[in-house]
Amino acid sequence: MKTIIEPFKIKSVEPIKFTTKEERKKILAEAGYNPFLINAENVIIDLLTDSGTSAMSAKQWSGIMDGDESYAGSKSFFKFESAVKNITGHKFIIPTHQGRAAEKILFTIVGGKGKFIPNNTHFDTTRANVEFTGAEAIDLLNEQGKHPEIKADFKGNMDVEALENFIKKTGKDNIPLVMITVTNNSGGGQPVSMQNIKDVKAICNKYGIPLFIDACRFAENAYFIKKREKGYKDKSILEIAQEMFSYADGATMSAKKDALVNIGGFLSLNNEELATKCRNLLIVTEGFPTYGGLAGRDLEAVAIGLEEILDENYLQYRIRSTEYLGEKITAAGVPIIEPPGGHAIYIDAKRFLPNVPPHQFPGQSITCELYLEGGIRAVEIGSVMFGKYDEDGNVISPPMELVRMAIPRRVYTQSHIDYVAEVVIEVYKNRNKLGGYKFTYEAPMLRHFTARFEPVSNTE
Ligand code: F0G
């Protein structure tokens, strides 16, 4: 087997500014030890997110020039609508400026106090949009998915039995919809099997509850199904995606991931009454229903990106490059969520730094060190992002403490990834020198974006 190479040539480049370790020490302290607050130009390799960071193709850039900026009925909207319909098969396609705008509209209408939304695992903005309405966001991940060291094919699956028990206990009238996130971002970028989507749909049908897909990384999920699930090896990515969406009554999508664009999203629905309500709210919050917070050129780029993402050569390279980083660092003993997911490698901070307790944020500590050591920006997904307080002010931690290194699409080459592996391994070798952190500022919601920290001294 020959090396799987990047299936593109580079036509336009952006220089990387190099910094020294001494400079980074100062930059990190000024940013309150929160990589979100570091200026991007001071980052060497930016693995903060795979969202909105894709390199667009020459075809997408030419689509940008071709965008129709008419306020109503723009021809770019119809291209966008047809690209989304081709994949989802859904009847009503509502553009939004990004994923969370679709979530905000949907949950404002179906959510509210006393309502519950089950999901395999909510991502932070989805959870926040559910909770903002007064509803509760319930995660029902299968057991394997909760154990980073277990290697299994579909660790993103929902626990179907737990879902049925939850519906029986809560009452179907209090559950406006069930959601499945593909791939499961907060749980390691792990895929969900077609069988699981079908099983969840069967339970939803039994109780008359609609099923929605959070579709950010649907093509990566479809590729995993093709490679790992019986019966799909000869199907195209488009066919697999179409089947996934055929079980869903609607979807939200951040096009900033698998539509290979820098901004965009949509809400797709089959229910006309719900679509009408969503469109009416869209007009208040996003814009007219044929642009929904986007420029015509953005709609054009999404339509083209949704075609390009279905290319199997691209997906093979994409999934392999993530796996390649995972293999290199695990060979040196670095604990990660196994097997590597689609868009990111998730370091298991609990096993990496067993001496730093969750309330001192081991993931934050590793994230800071990756920046200091090599100018790499990653993100904590653990007690900083999802921690809560009990009535006595003690931290309630989520089940996992992770550091996500998300890989932007079509941006970095193999030698960039080799460099990342070297830095991670160096930090791992020096792990005994790392300590914990504490907040000096935290916002009441989505605190990880703006929080400030300081290192905890050994005596605290
Ligand atoms: N759902 C999932 C599964 C996501 O990963 C994201 C964004 C969203 C919804 C919201 O989309 O950002 O366009 O509003 N995830 C990014 C990330 C931010 O870094 O994983 P958005």
State both tokens at 34.
């929160």
Q: Which atom of ligand 1 is nearest to the CA of 49?
A: 19
| pLDDT tens per residue, range 421-447 | 999 999 999 999 999 999 999 988 888
Tell me the domain boundaries of the chain.
21-50+312-455, 58-308
Q: How many CA atoms lie within 13 A of 147 on its CB side?
A: 7
Rounded to the nearest whole angstrom, what is the distance from the C-alpha of residue 185 to the centroid of ligand 1?
Answer: 8
Cβ-count burial 406-418 (b if 16+ within 10 Å, e if not)? bbbbbebeeebbe
Rounded to the nearest whole angstrom, what is the distance from the C-alpha of residue 36 to the centroid of ligand 1?
Answer: 15
Rounded to the nearest whole angstrom, what is the distance from the C-alpha of residue 383 to the centroid of ligand 1?
Answer: 18
Which residue, among 320, 118, 306, 115, has the nearest Cα to 215 in the 3D structure?
A: 306
Going by CA atoms, what residue is nearest to atom 16 of ligand 1?
A: 51
pLDDT for the residue numbered 439 = 94
Query: Would you say 245 and 89 are in contact if contact means Cβ atoms under 8 Å apart?
Result: yes
**Best of 212, 214, 216, 294 for a ligand 1 pocket test (most atoms within 8 Å of beta carbon):** 216
126 in ligand 1 pocket by Cβ < 6 Å?
A: yes
Q: Which atom of ligand 1 is nearest to the CA of 217?
A: 3
**Cβ partners under 8 Å of residue 243, min gap 6:** 194, 235
Q: How many CA atoms lie within 13 A of 64 on its CB side?
A: 9
Residue 4 has pLDDT above 80, yes or no: yes
Query: Would you say 291 and 71 are in contact if contact means Cβ atoms under 8 Å apart?
Result: yes
| pLDDT tens per residue, range 376-417 | 999 999 999 989 889 998 889 988 899 999 999 999 999 999
361-364: Cβ within 8 A, 24+ apart: 361/401, 361/436, 361/437, 361/438, 361/453, 362/401, 362/436, 363/401, 363/402, 363/403, 364/33, 364/437, 364/453
How many other C-beta atoms can be found within 10 angstroms of the C-beta atom of residue 331?
10
Phi, psi of 188 (to 5 degrees): 105, 15
Rounded to the nearest whole angstrom, what is the distance from the C-alpha of residue 215 to the centroid of ligand 1?
Answer: 10
Residue 460 has pLDDT above 70, yes or no: no
127 in ligand 1 pocket by Cβ < 6 Å?
A: no
Q: Does the predicted TM-score (pTM) go above 0.85?
A: yes
Q: Which atom of ligand 1 is nearest to the CA of 102?
A: 14
Going by CA atoms, what residue is nearest to atom 19 of ligand 1?
A: 49
Query: Would you say 186 and 211 are in contact if contact means Cβ atoms under 8 Å apart?
Result: no
190 in ligand 1 pocket by Cβ < 6 Å?
A: no
Cα separation, 109 vs 177, in Å, equals: 11
Mean pLDDT of 236-243: 98
CATH 3.90.1150.10 fits 21-50+312-455, yes or no: yes
- Tell me what the pLDDT averaged over the chain comes to: 96
Residue 233 has pLDDT above 90, yes or no: yes
**Residue 439, class by beta-carbon neighbours within 10 Å (0-12 exposed, 13-18 middle, 19+ buried)?**
middle
Phi, psi of 44 (to 5 degrees): -85, -55
Residue 251 has pLDDT above 90, yes or no: yes
| pLDDT tens per residue, range 289-306 | 999 999 999 999 999 999
CATH 1.20.1600.10 fits 58-308, yes or no: no
Rounded to the nearest whole angstrom, what is the distance from the C-alpha of residue 26 to the centroid of ligand 1?
Answer: 30
